[in-house]
Each structure stands twice: as C-alpha cells, then as structure tokens.
Amino acid sequence: MNYTDISKIKSLVTLATSRKSSHVLEGDYLSPFNGPSLEFDKLDEYRSGDSIRYIDWKASSAHGKMLVRRFISQRRHKALLIGDCGIKMSGHTSKNEVKSKLAETILGSFSWLFSAKGCDYSLLCSYNGKIGRESFHCGNEHLVGLLNRYSKNAEDRKALPLNFLLEYAAKSYSGEMIILLVTDLEGLSRLDKSIVQKLTYKNDLMVACIDDILLSSPGSYDVYGDRYSDTFIIGGKKLYQAEIEMREKIYNEKHDLLTKNRASVCMISEEKDIPDCILSLFEQNTKLTHDARK
C-alpha cells in the first residue's frame, strides 16, 4: 500500500458516499482539538517535530530512550478496524481475487471514509504473532501506515486466532465506537453469541465477510496443506451442492445472530463490491438502530 493506492480507494468510497450519506458518521465533534488537557493515549518514541514539553523524562530514563506523552481529542466518533490474518488469507475468492489484498482495500476504503468524516480510527490485527495496539488518529499518513502493517502480516502462518483479537477488543477498549471486522467465511463461522454481545454492548458492529473459492472448484488450492485439491475426488456435483448449502447455512446463521444484536454484515467477492458493501453496512446499521429505539 502506498500513496498512489489512496486515489483508487478514494474513488471506490466516492461511489458509495455520492449516492447516500453515511448517517452513522454524521455529527459534530465533542472537541476538535488535540492537547494535554484532553485524553491521554500512550507513551511513544520522540519524533522530529514533537514538543519537548510533552517528554516524559522519568519514563525516558527508565526505558533508555526519549519518550513523549501522546494525547487524543475526545471526538464523537471513533472507529476500530479489526483485520483477520493468517495463511487462509492467501487464498482466493470466488471471483479469483486474493483475500488478503481485498481485505486491505476494504480496510483502506473504510479508513478513508472515517478520516474524511473526521473520525479517528485504529487497526487491531495480529502483528508477528502478537497483538499490536495502535493509537486513534486520522489522515492519509496514518491510513498508509496501518495498511502497510496489515499487508506485512495478513498471511502470517503464526497469526493469532480471530476470537483472541475479538476478546481483546471487548476487554481493552472503553467508550462507544464503530467496530469494523473484516474476515472470511471461516472467521464468520467462529463468531458466537457471547463475543457478539460483548462487542455490541456499547458499539456499532459492522462485519465485511470475504467469500472463498469453492473447494470443489477446478484448480482450487489447499493453503493449509500447501497443495492443489484433487478435483477427481472432490469435483462431483453432489459435493459441490453440499458445499454451497453448507456455506449458505453458515452465513444465514451468523447473519441472524448479528442482526439480532444490532450488528450489520455483508458478503464481498471482489473489489467492485466494496461501494455496495459500504452502503449496505451503514444502511443496515441505521435501520437496526432505529428499530431498537422503537
């Protein structure tokens, strides 16, 4: 991901926002300013341009490097992006797009939209087999930095399980925010009632589910076994139909679970689906919120 990709992401998002406003993001900030009188975020390494007045000398001495205090303004809207990772993301969708690359574009599209609406956002995913918690900021530089981190770890074989990330998100973040989860059908199948209720207790949860190429499709590749599937054995019509029905069952069950807990979900197969997915998730969110208040 680099700055040239921003133009592609911007054009994708514009297709959605020009047709209908994302109502959930409308509204003014509680405060438009950054500064020490607001919410403390974290200690971070000193960077060129940082004010020396924010240097934490005690912590710097203890850690052997210059550390500064970071603060964030309390805005009306925050967004947490959760990106599923693992070797499974090196697989392809039914439209022959690489899942990790599609996930990256989805995350980038929503990040750009959040940033354009003045919403601070952060990315939570597995970094080198560990959780990397980022600060909430906005802007193109922040967007590119987060997506570069996701891209480098999206197909990591040592990636943490998705439910580990979701439990961490439920326990470690306070306050109301929008949560966007980008996963695949396997990740969707692992969502249970407990974690969904924890995430939706105070937050708006949206799930973008990337589909998978069928195992019974010609030339399908087993990313876990690192080999091509034997289509002579698994390419029969009955198995093909059974696979279709199983996937529909998983999606429908999780769709019902999410909507009952005021969460929205959509399925994505290719890049051109992203504008419609953005619209669908926000429209579902608005409708579910409206119905819950009746």
Question: pLDDT (tens digit, 9 = 90+) per residue, 52-86?
Answer: 888 999 999 999 999 988 776 554 578 999 999 99
Alpha carbons 209 and 280: distance in angstroms, whole number: 12
Helices (H) and strands (E) in the chain, counts: 10, 10
Give the pLDDT of residue 214: 82
Give the H/E segment covering residue 80.
strand 78-83
Alpha helices (H) in 128-184, listed in sequence order: 140-153, 162-172
Alpha carbons 144 and 148: distance in angstroms, whole number: 6
> DSSP for 189-233?
HT--HHHHHHHHTTSEEEEEEEP---TTSTT-EETTTTEE--HHH
> Token pair of 184, please?
């695949």
| Residue 171 CA: distances (Å) to CA of 83, 190, 199 | 17, 18, 9
Return per-residue pLDDT of the chain as tens, 294 residues: 555 566 667 666 665 555 554 455 554 433 333 444 456 777 888 877 677 888 999 999 999 999 988 776 554 578 999 999 999 999 999 999 999 999 999 999 999 888 888 888 999 999 888 997 888 998 888 888 999 999 999 999 899 999 999 999 999 998 789 999 999 999 999 999 999 999 999 899 999 999 998 876 665 666 666 555 655 555 567 777 888 899 999 999 999 999 999 999 999 999 999 989 998 998 888 777 656 655
- CA geometry: angle 131, 278, 162, nearest 5 deg: 25
Alpha carbons 5 and 7: distance in angstroms, whole number: 5
Tens-place pLDDT, residues 201-234:
989 999 999 999 887 666 566 666 655 565 555 5
